[in-house]
Amino acid sequence: MSSLQDQLDQITASTRELVPEERLAVGERAVQELLNAGLVEKILPVGATAPEFSLRDSAGRIVRSQDMLSLGPLVLKFFRGRWCPYCTTELEAWRDLYGQIRERGALLVGISPQAERQSDFLCIQHGIPFPVLRDPACELAEQFGLAYTVPEYHREYYLSMLVNIPFIDGEPSWKLPLPATYVIGRDRKVLFAEAHADFRVRPEPDEALHALWAAMPR
């Protein structure tokens, strides 16, 4: 079976075949600016205490971190939205591991700024069995050090691709999270933390699961 990154690299290769170079350059510029800003170096690190949260799932129900952590450790998957093929491919990889995670007594949620209706579409279209929570205007992502505002020139690019982020997210901020994976222990301590300024790069699920299994009783 190919790795997650192999699958993501195939999306990148296909995009480069189909999209003109001058349009690809817009995305490359945005990635480079995030790298230069050093945002990744400022994310909530391993060993820190994760913030508590209450967010709504795709059906509008409130899901509380305190309630989930009372049941077991928690994997948080911050992602940009269902419009991003890299995000949906990554979520499908986690979907296929969800049974193992629950069997071991842990939990998994996806978190994005998109509106509940978009998350509902995502869960149906991609068969996502775990909760997908809405983080309006990336307020929780901000607490994890992941949030940024899409620059004006990149907004125009997204709109030209019919990706209207304010419409998708149901609010006007144009904020997105860096895609990130966190493992949170039952005591709220961060056991695993990885984010990338380049949206085309994601950690392999096995890396996070190694930290998760190590924290659980044998």
Domains of the chain listed by start with CATH number: 4-213 (3.40.30.10)
DSSP H helices in the chain: 4-18, 21-37, 65-69, 85-95, 98-103, 116-126, 139-143, 152-160, 165-169, 205-214
Range scoring the smallest mean pLDDT among 1-5, 31-35, 38-42: 1-5
Section 3-8 average pLDDT: 96
pLDDT of residue 37: 95
Question: Which band of pLDDT confidence, cut at 50, 70 and 90, is reported for residue 2?
Answer: confident
For the residues 199-213, what does the mean pLDDT come to?
95
CB crowding 183-205: b at 16 or more within 10 Å, else e: bbbeeeebbbbbbbbbbebbbeb
DSSP for 18-75, please give it: HS-HHHHHHHHHHHHHHHHHTGGGGSPPTTSBPPP-EEE-TTS-EEEHHHHHTTS-EE
- Is residue 12's pLDDT more than 90? yes
Query: Does 66 score more than 70 pLDDT?
Result: yes
pLDDT at 110 over 70: yes
pLDDT exceeds 90 at position 188: yes
Range 102-123 average pLDDT:
97
Q: How confident is the model at residue 1 (pLDDT cuts 50, 70, 90)?
A: low
Among the ranges given (85-99, 123-137, 187-201, 204-218), the one the predictor scored with the smallest mean pLDDT: 204-218
Would you state the pLDDT for residue 218?
A: 64
pLDDT band of 215, cuts 50, 70, 90: confident
